[in-house]
Chains A and B, each alone.
Chain A
Amino acid sequence: MIRLGYLEKNTFLEAVNKKSGANVLNCYQCGKCVSTCPVSSYMDYPPRVIMQMIKLGMKEEALKANSMWFCLTCSACSGRCPREIDIPAVMEAIRHIAIEENYVNKTKKVKEIRTFHNIFLDMVKRYGRNYELRMMAEFNIRTRNLFKDMHLAPKALLKGKITIGHEHVKRGKAIRKMYAMADKLEKSQKG
């Protein structure tokens, strides 16, 4: 049971609206997003329910959910939402709030998703470009699942789908500096 009562100020709603540029109060719970979303069945709460949670100020529950980590930003839902809500932007907003405020969902699946993204970003940081084979390998090492997808590798290599060497951005320094500066900016914006 959830107990509701006087809510002086729904700061969670305000924060999400501000960050996403959407107005979650517009949602009238039609569920069109839910049946549109290709991954709603993997989510703890599908988009429609997330909207309702935000409206009710259920911050912790919403931020701890895995939903926004599964969102593929495919924009299928927002293209169909009759109330024109930018749902992926809302998902992105709560994802960022969850990171900032340390609410991130702790399940293995979400961890793996985050690991992947971190590897990706590291890769780009190092080389300025990404490189699939290496990413795959690193992912497997980090998630302790050495043989995942490895059956694909020989065939892919053989067919030239994946190459062993890879290209770098020449001015790699510039990229690394960008990372540092973006990070600094992020922090200054918060503080």
Chain B
Amino acid sequence: MARVGVFVCFCGANIADFVDVPAVVEEVKKIREVKYAVYYKYMCSDPGQQIIKDAIAQYRLTSVVVAACSPRMHEKTFRRAVSEAGLNPYLLEIANIREHSSWVHQKNKKAATEKAGDLIRMAVAKSIANEQLHEISVPVTKRALVIGGGIAGIQAALDIADAHIPVVLVERSPSIGGRMAQLDETFPTLDCSQCILTPKMVDVASHPYIELIPYSEVIGLEGYVGNYKAKIKKKASYVNFSLCTGCGACTQKCPVKVPNEFNMGIDKRKAIYTPFPQAVPNKPVIDAEHCNMLLKGKCGICSKVCEKGAIDYTMKDEVIEREIGAVVVATGYDLWDPKPYEEYGVGRFKDVITSLEFERMVSASGPTGGLPIRPSDGKVPKTVVFIKCIGSRDEAKGIEYCSKICCMYTAKHAILLHHKVHDSRAYVFYMDVRAAGKGYEEFVKRAQVETGTTYLRGRVSKIYKMGDKLMVRGEDAQLGQVVEIEADMVVLATAIIPYKTNPALARLLGISYDKYGYLSEAHPKLRPVETAKAGIFLAGCTQAPKDIPDTVAQASACAAKVCGIFSGDALKKDPMISVVNPDYCSGCQNCVQVCPYQAITTEEIPITRGSKETRTVAKINEGVCQGCGSCAAVCRSMAISLKGFTDSQIINEIVSI
């Protein structure tokens, strides 16, 4: 038989003025299981807590009810007190007679008193069904996996590794660096992208706590927070990296030329190539789709010229596994293909290019030596029209959202054009100038004032050719007139989109993604770097378009979260989670479907003890369950109980009124 102690608080006058506390205590004493009931002026004070502790010992209480303020206020305090007296802290219940009674029924002491009595009765009834619970401790593997080696992945990896936690960095392409490696100078400060990025890339390669696995992809992830196992496919590079010195003899001699994706196809690379001079690792790979040897079995030149014998045409893809405790996804972004803008002659007019192509041209290390050049005739353009929101904010041809960074990089491009071609003239067609960031509006102003770039409000409707000029027609909505600009070159600020591979990656990681393919955060404001799955975090443009400062901030936030998980040897978890009683489970899997955290899987158990035949039952992973109780509510077999909020606890409360 339960032995309950009830401790009713005055809260000075806060409760006592509006609830007849002594009367309540007398009333409560009538409950069969209540072996002791008392009131005190300030229950949370040290003497108040002492009263509880003493009573537990004296009356051999099996559970405790404190009738005071909201559990959100002092539940922790009283749990501590109870456990100091040797009672399991989860045998405590709180009756909220302040926020829910004395403060809200101040004009009706009788009703408030009666209600307080009911609330205590309910808490007593619940406490009788309380069970001893123990904090769950989940062991963790202190190693993080970072997927994607753009600036987001690089920053997250370095921050985590600097905390002396091992990191596995998996990058799909032959080198880390991502899009930032393709950029020239960067807004809003115009520092050179390569100059600030390259040292970080080198740090990654040389960091004792980072294992860099380039040219690879994650193909599987099992487990839960603290205890994941990742499968990683290393694509065959046909170059033995441990032998290769990166001398580059092979890339020079290879006869096969392929459009160079790093330079947006402006120039060519070889079939064996390092994507760019500062690549990390600085070792070549063979592009199997274009190598003559691999395609037709003829050539083998690279192997002949390689003094180290590093070339291995027989190399195969390889799958490796790593045990890890947390994941940072940083797979970045792709650029929207502007082909649907037929009215701009995309694809037909060589001198209508995209912003990233322009970026590569003005980049000092780029294919044109840092000068913008008309692809059609190699001439340096004098009049350049920049058109913003290409594919962005265009439901008809592209996507609805704003790509966030193109206003800024277009201002940058106008400035860079001016720097590279002094007598040039830039026009920018815009609908809005979105420059919300530190120093951003000032930067746009610099483009408008210092470089004399003309901003025209309107969307361009057509580009056509007159001789070797491009005629750009649009409305200047401020003038209310149609204008036509005779341009040498047109630069389209194409939308940022997630990689097409993102949804497949999300499914394999068990996280969600939005209708565009961006990976979804757990809460847009308060949990922006977490996913709904514990232990998986998001950094950079894989979550939404953003610039470098935001990307880096998010990456560092991910690192802090990862370090938080790894701060102890085990993860401590609230024990108020759900458990399945397999005896009752019918295997309907209703629970599996409603669990927002995918905490429920199924397992096969013998039909009866020792039997060979099996049946399917639900199984809740205590490392993953967050204790929402959705599953308990849908289980028709009543096989699931949510500890701390079991059916019998709640029903007890209901029927005790």
Q: Looking across the interface, which residue of chain B has its beta carbon closest to that of A31?
A: B475
Residue numbers in A under 8 Å from B393 (CB-CB): 28, 82
A35 touching B396, Cβ below 8 Å: no
B459 touching A30, Cβ below 8 Å: yes
A140 within 8 A of B: no
B482 touching A34, Cβ below 8 Å: yes
A49 touching B474, Cβ below 8 Å: no
B231 within 8 A of A: no
A34 touching B395, Cβ below 8 Å: no
B523 within 8 A of A: no
Q: How far is the CA of A48 from the CA of B461 in the complex (A)?
A: 13
With contacts A36-B461, A36-B462, A41-B482 taken as known, whether A31 is within 8 angstroms of B395 at the C-beta atoms is no
Q: Mark B12-51, 1 if CB is under 8 A from A, else 0.
A: 0000000000000000000000000000000000000000
B396 touching A31, Cβ below 8 Å: no
A80 within 8 A of B: yes
B477 touching A29, Cβ below 8 Å: yes
Contact for B394 among A29, A46, A82, CB less than 8 A = A82
Chain B count of residues within 8 A CB distance of the other chain: 21
A31 touching B343, Cβ below 8 Å: no
Enumerate B349-405 residues with CB–CB distance to A below 8 Å. Answer: 393-397
B431 touching A35, Cβ below 8 Å: no
Contact for A82 among B397, B462, B475, B476, CB less than 8 A = B397
Contact for B460 among A32, A40, A46, CB less than 8 A = A32
Q: How far is the CA of A4 from the CA of B445 in the complex (A)?
A: 33
B458 touching A84, Cβ below 8 Å: no
With contacts A36-B462, A49-B480, A80-B343 taken as known, whether A31 is within 8 angstroms of B474 at the C-beta atoms is yes
Q: Looking across the interface, which residue of chain A has its beta carbon closest to that of B458?
A: A31
Residue numbers in B under 8 Å from A35 (CB-CB): 458, 460-462, 473-475, 482-483
B396 touching A81, Cβ below 8 Å: yes
Q: How far is the CA of A83 from the CA of B476 in the complex (A)?
A: 18
Contact for B475 among A28, A34, A81, A83, CB less than 8 A = A34
Q: How far is the CA of A147 from the CA of B458 in the complex (A)?
A: 43
Q: How far is the CA of A31 from the CA of B430 in the complex (A)?
A: 11
Enumerate A45-78 residues with CB–CB distance to B below 8 Å. Answer: 46, 48-49
Enumerate A135-186 residues with CB–CB distance to B below 8 Å. Answer: none
Min CB–CB distance B259 → chain A (angstroms): 31
Q: Looking across the interface, which residue of chain B has its beta carbon closest to that of A47?
A: B475
Residue numbers in B under 8 Å from A30 (CB-CB): 431, 458-459, 477
The number of chain A residues touching the other chain, given as a range, is 10 to 19
Residue numbers in B under 8 Å from A33 (CB-CB): 461
Q: How far is the CA of A171 from the CA of B394 in the complex (A)?
A: 50
Residue numbers in B under 8 Å from A80 (CB-CB): 343, 396, 461
With contacts A41-B482, A80-B343 taken as known, whether A32 is within 8 angstroms of B458 at the C-beta atoms is yes
A82 touching B459, Cβ below 8 Å: yes
Q: Looking across the interface, which residue of chain B has its beta carbon closest to that of A40?
A: B482
Residue numbers in B under 8 Å from A41 (CB-CB): 482
Q: How far is the CA of A31 from the CA of B393 in the complex (A)?
A: 14
Residue numbers in A under 8 Å from B483 (CB-CB): 35
A84 touching B396, Cβ below 8 Å: yes
Q: Mark A13-34, 1 if CB is under 8 A from B, else 0.
A: 0000000000000001111111
Enumerate B448-483 residues with CB–CB distance to A below 8 Å. Answer: 457-462, 473-477, 480, 482-483
Min CB–CB distance B509 → chain A (angstroms): 34
Q: How far is the CA of A46 from the CA of B459 in the complex (A)?
A: 15
Q: Looking across the interface, which residue of chain A has its beta carbon closest to that of B396?
A: A84
A83 touching B477, Cβ below 8 Å: no
Interface core residue of A34, A35, A83 (most chain B CB under 10 Å): A35
Min CB–CB distance A55 → chain B (angstroms): 15
Q: Looking across the interface, which residue of chain B has its beta carbon closest to that of A82?
A: B394
Min CB–CB distance A25 → chain B (angstroms): 14
Q: How far is the CA of A122 from the CA of B533 in the complex (A)?
A: 72
Interface core residue of B393, B458, B473 (most chain A CB under 10 Å): B458
Q: How far is the CA of A81 from the CA of B462 in the complex (A)?
A: 12
Q: Looking across the interface, which residue of chain B has its beta carbon closest to that of A84?
A: B396
Q: How far is the CA of A30 from the CA of B395 in the complex (A)?
A: 13
Contact for B461 among A28, A29, A32, A84, CB less than 8 A = A32
Q: How far is the CA of A36 from the CA of B475 in the complex (A)?
A: 9
Residue numbers in A under 8 Å from B474 (CB-CB): 31-32, 35
Q: Looking across the interface, which residue of chain B has its beta carbon closest to that of A32?
A: B459
Min CB–CB distance A40 → chain B (angstroms): 7
Q: Looking across the interface, which residue of chain B has its beta carbon closest to that of A26?
A: B395
Q: How far is the CA of A84 from the CA of B399 in the complex (A)?
A: 12
Residue numbers in A under 8 Å from B397 (CB-CB): 82
Contact for B477 among A36, A40, A48, A82, CB less than 8 A = A48
Q: Looking across the interface, which residue of chain B has its beta carbon closest to that of A49?
A: B480
Residue numbers in B under 8 Å from A36 (CB-CB): 461-462
Min CB–CB distance B341 → chain A (angstroms): 9
Residue numbers in B under 8 Å from A28 (CB-CB): 393, 431
Q: How far is the CA of A84 from the CA of B457 in the complex (A)?
A: 20
Min CB–CB distance A183 → chain B (angstroms): 37
Min CB–CB distance B395 → chain A (angstroms): 6
Min CB–CB distance B336 → chain A (angstroms): 14
Min CB–CB distance A75 → chain B (angstroms): 13
Residue numbers in A under 8 Å from B477 (CB-CB): 29-31, 34, 48
A83 touching B458, Cβ below 8 Å: no
Min CB–CB distance A67 → chain B (angstroms): 13
Q: How far is the CA of A29 from the CA of B477 in the complex (A)?
A: 8
Q: How far is the CA of A61 from the CA of B431 in the complex (A)?
A: 26
Enumerate A74-118 residues with CB–CB distance to B below 8 Å. Answer: 80-84
Q: Looking across the interface, which residue of chain B has its beta carbon closest to that of A45?
A: B480
Residue numbers in A under 8 Å from B476 (CB-CB): 31
Min CB–CB distance B186 → chain A (angstroms): 29
Min CB–CB distance A135 → chain B (angstroms): 32
Q: Mark B519-546, 1 if CB is under 8 A from A, else 0.
A: 0000000000000000000000000000
Q: Looking across the interface, which residue of chain A has its beta carbon closest to that of B457?
A: A31
Min CB–CB distance B432 → chain A (angstroms): 9
Interface core residue of A28, A33, A34, A83 (most chain B CB under 10 Å): A34
Interface core residue of A30, A40, A49, A80 (most chain B CB under 10 Å): A30
With contacts A31-B458, A35-B462, A35-B474 taken as known, whether A83 is within 8 angstroms of B431 at the C-beta atoms is no
Min CB–CB distance A48 → chain B (angstroms): 7
Q: How far is the CA of A35 from the CA of B343 in the complex (A)?
A: 12
Given contact pairs A30-B458, A32-B475, A83-B395, enumerate 6 new A-B contacts (beta carbons under 8 Å): A28-B431, A30-B477, A31-B477, A35-B473, A35-B474, A80-B461
| A positions within 8 Å CB-CB of B | 28-36, 40-41, 46, 48-49, 80-84
Q: What are 19 A-B contacts defined by CB distance under 8 Å? A: A31-B458, A31-B475, A31-B477, A32-B458, A32-B459, A34-B461, A34-B477, A35-B458, A35-B460, A35-B461, A35-B475, A35-B482, A36-B462, A41-B482, A82-B394, A82-B395, A82-B396, A82-B397, A82-B459
Complex A-B, nearest 7 residue pairs according to Cβ-Cβ distance, in ascending order = A31-B475, A82-B394, A32-B459, A31-B458, A35-B461, A34-B475, A30-B459
